[in-house]
Structure 1
Amino acid sequence: MRSIIFFDIDGTLVTEDERAIIPQSTMEAIALTRKKGNLTFINSGRTAFNISSKVKKLGFDGYICGCGTYIEYSGNVLLSHTVEKDECRRIAELMRKCWVTPVYEHRDGYFFDDKTPATEGFKEFMEVFVDAGIDVNGRVEDENFGFDKFVIWTNPDSDMELFRREIEKDFSIIDRGGGFYENVPLGYSKATGISVILDKLGISIENAYAIGDSTNDLPMLQAVPNSIAMGGSEHIYHYVSYVTTPIEENGIYNALKHFELI
């Protein structure tokens, strides 16, 4: 029986720094497990347009993006959820009132709001995008403004009481630390994406594996019996069944070898 492996990107497949390195051992491990007949999937908070070509070149059978709001298998889109346009506009106005810094993430691009504060975290985010050649011209005023999920940075003047009271009605709020929050429509997560794929392919949960390194990976790590934390991500160790070595110490290769997936 073939197995299926779900990979986070940042801090798992790619180093989470300006180098954005994919270790050679990671490339080899993915090629070997696919040669063995196992399936490999990306399962990321990134929306579909923001999966880099160098990640795609590793070889994947499908993609779960935007924390389960977009699912693709073998080139076919199985699910794509975008928040209704009127609701997108309402939330954009609310974020201005909350005085937080949002980035609105759509499967086809990002949208920004010049009428909100520019925090240091946001500035660093923009620098990374500009350096990567990603289009940063989208604005909430655009006619095609819409999003599948969104993130915010807070500052000392942010009204987080208002933010939580309103956003928790329709979104899961994921605290990523350092005043950075990821907001995903209720009913969607990395775990729901896994469920859709397992049902579609008829693969038993016992043959499903997930590898991640951060708190937004917890839904997928807790959705499968074979959960793997990257070395160095101590904050999620007690949620997983196995801890591998750090990403640059052959973490992916050692994890797949431990579970006899290569």
Structure 2
Amino acid sequence: MQSVIFFDIDGTLVTEDARAIIPQSTREAIELTRKKGNLTFINSGRTAFNINDRVKELGFDGYICGCGTYIEYDGEVMFSRTIPQDQCRSIAELMRKCNVTPVYEHSEGYFFDDSAVMTDGLREFMDVFVDSGIDISGRVEDEDFGFDKFVIWVNPQSDMELFNREIGKNFSIIDRGSGFYENVPLGYSKATGIDMVLKRLGIPMENAYAIGDSMNDLPMLEAVPNSIAMGGAEKIYPYVSYITSAIEEDGIKNALLHFNLI
């Protein structure tokens, strides 16, 4: 029976260092499993516009983006959820009161707030986008301002009590470390994206596989019975059913071989 495999990007398909290597064995494994009739999906916290062409060229049947807020299959949008604009503007005002540095993520672009503190994290974020040719001109004042999810960096003057109290009413607040927080609307995650895909395509849960390398992949890994950790990702070893080799040691290929997916 047809299976579906959900892949994280950074540290799973692509090395996380400046080299950003995609091993040839990874390319071959994805091609082989698709030829066998299995489906492949990206499952990422990145919003749709931020899946770069190098990743897309590997060949995927679909994409779960923005932690389940956007789903695409076979070139068609299966599901998309953007926060109503009035709520987006209220949140932007609240972020200014909290004195945090936000980036608002939409499936078609990012929006920035020039009144926010410029942090090292934001500067690095924007530099990466510029190097990748991604437009960083969007601002909260724009007429089309809106977002699906958002991230923040904090500083010593940030009012995190106010932030947690108000944002926690409608968002899952994910501490990514080093004063960086990812905020996803309640009811959405990499796991809900998987559930939606499986129900829509009529594929049983036992035929679902997920491959990741970090703690933010846990919702996806815990959602399926066949969960795979990349070699070297020791923090998630206790939560998975199989540990493959490292990314540059044919990790993807070896995982798919282990489960007879190629």
Determine if the TM-score, normalized by the shorter chain, exceeds 0.5: yes
Q: Distance between the aligned counterparts of 2:238 and 2:85, measured in 1?
A: 40
- Counterpart amino acid of residue 122 in structure 1: L
Which residue in the other structure is 2:111 paired with?
A: 111
CA distance in 1, matches of 2:66, 2:186: 13
Residues in 2 aligned to 1:162 and 1:231: alpha-carbon distance in whole angstroms: 39
Counterpart for residue 35 of structure 1: 35
Secondary structure, in 3 states, of the residue corresponding to 1:222? Answer: helix
2 CA distance for matches of 1:71 and 1:105? 15
| 231-240 vs 140-149, greater mean Cα deviation | 231-240
SS in structure 1 at match of 2:227: strand
Work out whether 1:228 is the aligned partner of 2:232: no
Spell out, residue by residue over 1:149-202, the C-alpha distance to the aligned partner (whole angstroms, 9 max, x if none): 001111222111111111110001111111111111011111111111101111
RMSD: 0.9
Equivalent position of 1:143 in the other structure: 143
Describe how 1:23-62 pairs up with structure 2 within 5 A: 23-62=23-62
With the length of structure 1 as denominator, give the TM-score of the two structures.
Answer: 0.98
Query: Cα deviations across residues 32-61 of structure 1 (Å, max 9, x unaligned)?
Result: 111111110011111111111111111111
TM-score scaled by length of structure 2: 0.98
Deviations 1:113-154 (A, max 9, x none): 111111111111111101001000000010100000001111
Residue 25 (structure 1) shift: 1.0
What is the percent sequence identity of the aligned residues? Answer: 77
* Distance (whole Å) between structure 1 residues aligned to residue 176 and residue 235 of structure 2: 11
Matched residues in 2 for 1:257 and 1:173: separation?
36
- Could you tell me how far 1:17 is from its partner in structure 2? 2.4
How far residue 28 of structure 1 moved from its aligned partner, in angstroms, is: 0.8
2:81 alignment partner in structure 1: 81
Deviation beyond 4 Å, 4+ runs, structure 1: none
1:220-252: CA deviations, max 9, x gaps? Answer: 111000001112222211111111112112111
Matched pairs, number: 262
Aligned counterpart, 2:2: 2
AA aligned to 1:11 is G
Letter paired with 1:169: K
> What amino acid is aligned across from residue 221 of structure 1 in structure 2?
L
Matches within 5 A, 1:41-190: 41-190=41-190
Counterpart CA distance in 2 for 1:159 and 1:251 is 42
